[in-house]
Structure formats: structure tokens, C-alpha cells
Amino acid sequence: MRWSDIDPIIMAALQEDLPAGDITSESLIPPGSSSTAVLLAKEPGVLAGIDVARRVFLKIDPRVRFGKFFEDGAAFGPGDALAEVRGASRSLLKGERTALNFLQRMSGIATKTRRYVEAAGPGTRILDTRKTTPTLRRLEKYAVKMGGGRNHRFSLSDMVLIKDNHLRLVGSITEAVRRARAGAGPRLKIEVEVTNPAEAREAAGAGADMIMLDNMPLAQMREVVGELRGRLPVEVSGQVRLDRVRRIAGLGVDFISVGGLTHSYDSIDISLEFQSEEREGRR
């Protein structure tokens, strides 16, 4: 991640949470109070966003000291301390919720992704989609990578992906691929979404670089993979539940894309637990 991309997201989140400061902490906690707190996992998961959490605290107060015990991509268990934060008590309280919001959600995505990656096995790669939270795509796709998945296109500018609505407007797969090749040029790859073996054959014959099997029955997937194996990469998409991943991967598909990685995950329960209060220097 580039902080030049992430810092505006963090600052917008802090402005949302602290438009006029932290009234509670500023009323209750003396300015000279300093504390130590730990980011504590309440359940198992895969870590993503620990440096984003650190960045939150530093944006509030550059004097905060943040020590990581785990790196992104690492598995952790309940009761594990993920990091220690030291600094002005007010600063830690101001950053608590924003840091946790990023860390819990990103770790939730990484954890769900890891489950899919393990279910698919080494021969099939798990992809994300563009079904992300608006403005948070960079963070969410980063979290997918920390879970062992791969990023599909980041935006509509990255590649040609011809889907059902495009085909309704153009009229045929062959014509759509022809127009895409003429318009996008040789640099960008062309992927075509298909719903049956006949459409897959047409897309392959038209010169597509990759085929996406959308909501296709297993028997038809097997037929397409048998015909295209070694010729074109095959991706499966649409209602891919965790309990089906192993069977789909067993067909020999190259990729399985899962929109739910970034739109239907469960946040991991992580808290910021204050450990002590240092009274020296208090006024």
C-alpha cells in the first residue's frame, strides 16, 4: 500500500469521528495523563491492517509509540496481543474506534479469504471482485491479499470484462470481442462472462483471453474446463459458497472469484485494552 493513497482515507475517517474533538476524553482525562494499551484479539483470525491502525494513532499524535507483535497475513488466536500502543491517554482514546474499525474489518476480509484459499487448494486461485465499500477498495483488496487471495481488476480501467449487460447491448459475444479488441488494443486482456458451454466456445473462438463461467452448473463447468484446459484460463463466478469451493476447484478451474470476500464478511472481534496509567507529569 502507498500511504499517499491511504492517508486521505484515514484523515476522512478521523474527521468523521472527531469533527470537534473528543468531548468525553477532553472532559475527563487530564492533558498530562499517559497510558499503555494493547490491541487484543477476542477470536481467531488472520491479521490485516495493523500498519493502518498504527497510522491512525500517529496522525492523531506523532509522539505515540506503536509496537507490533504480529505482521499482516499472520494467523492469531483469542487472547493474542497484536500490538502495544503507548502515549497520551487522550490520543489513544481518540484513535481507538477508528483504528479498530479499519483493523477489525480488514482482518475479517483476510480471515474469510484464507478460508476460501485453504478450501480451494494450491491449484486454484481465489480472486476478489469490485464489490467493495466505496472509497475503501484499496484497503479491502489489500486485505484479500493478506488472506492469500489475489486481486482481480482494481477498476474499470484495468482490463476488458464483457458481461451480460454489455452483450445485451452489443448483440453477440463475437461482435463484443471484436469491438473490444479494436477499442482497447492489444495491451489489455479481454475476459468474457458466459453462462453455458456454447457461449464459452464462441468466446474462445472469438479470441477472448479468459473465460468466466457465471452461475453455471457443475456438469457444464466440467465440460467447459475439459474443452479449454491448456488453451485459456477459466474463472468461475456467481454464488460461490465456501462449502462448494472444493468441488469447483476439483474441476480444474484456474480461478474462483468471490464477491462475498469484501461485501459479506464478519469483522473480527479486536479491542483496545488499557493496561496502565502513568501519573508522572500530570497537572
The answer on 252 and 274 residing in a single domain is no
The upper half-sphere exposure of residue 139, i.e. CA atoms within 13 Å in the direction of its Cβ, equals 28
Residue 266 falls in the annotated catalytic set = no
Task: Kindly compute the dihedral angle of the four CA atoms of residues 138, 67, 82, 134, in this order, to the nearest 10 degrees.
Answer: -20
Closest CA to 162 of 150, 143, 152, 175: 175
Residue 97 falls in the annotated catalytic set = yes
3-state secondary structure of 282: coil
Q: What is the pLDDT of residue 278?
A: 54
> What is the tally of structural domains in the chain?
2
The answer on 35 and 133 residing in a single domain is no
The answer on 217 and 121 residing in a single domain is yes
Residue 244 falls in the annotated catalytic set = no
**pTM of structure:** 0.95
Q: What is the CA radius of gyration of the chain?
A: 23
Domain assignment present for 283: no
Domain assignment present for 149: yes
- Tell me which of 193, 199, 235, 254 is the catalytic residue: 193
- Tell me which of 68, 130, 163, 181 is the catalytic residue: 163
Q: Can you say whether the dihedral through the CA atoms of 182, 214, 246, 126 is positive or negative?
A: positive
- Tell me which of 128, 191, 199, 214 is the catalytic residue: 214
The answer on 100 and 71 residing in a single domain is yes
Residue 112 falls in the annotated catalytic set = no
- Tell me which of 68, 131, 150, 201 is the catalytic residue: 131
The answer on 129 and 151 residing in a single domain is yes
The answer on 270 and 259 residing in a single domain is no
DSSP string, 16-37: HH-BTB-HHHHHHS-TT-EEEE
CATH code for the domain in which residue 222 is found: 3.20.20.70
Distance (Å, whole) CA 267 – CA 262:
11
- Tell me which of 59, 68, 97, 244 is the catalytic residue: 97
The answer on 248 and 140 residing in a single domain is yes
Q: What is the pLDDT of residue 276?
A: 62
Grid coordinates of 186: 492489444
The answer on 143 and 100 residing in a single domain is no
The answer on 133 and 8 residing in a single domain is no
CATH code for the domain in which residue 24 is found: 3.90.1170.20
Residue 178 falls in the annotated catalytic set = no
Digitized pLDDT (tens) for each residue of the chain, 283 residues in all: 899 999 999 999 999 999 999 999 999 999 999 999 999 999 999 999 999 999 999 999 999 999 999 999 999 999 999 999 999 999 999 999 999 999 999 999 999 999 999 999 999 999 999 999 999 999 999 999 999 999 999 999 999 999 999 999 999 999 999 999 999 988 899 999 999 999 999 999 999 999 999 999 999 999 999 999 989 999 999 989 999 999 999 999 999 999 999 999 999 999 999 996 554 433 2
| Structural domain containing residue 244 | 116-263
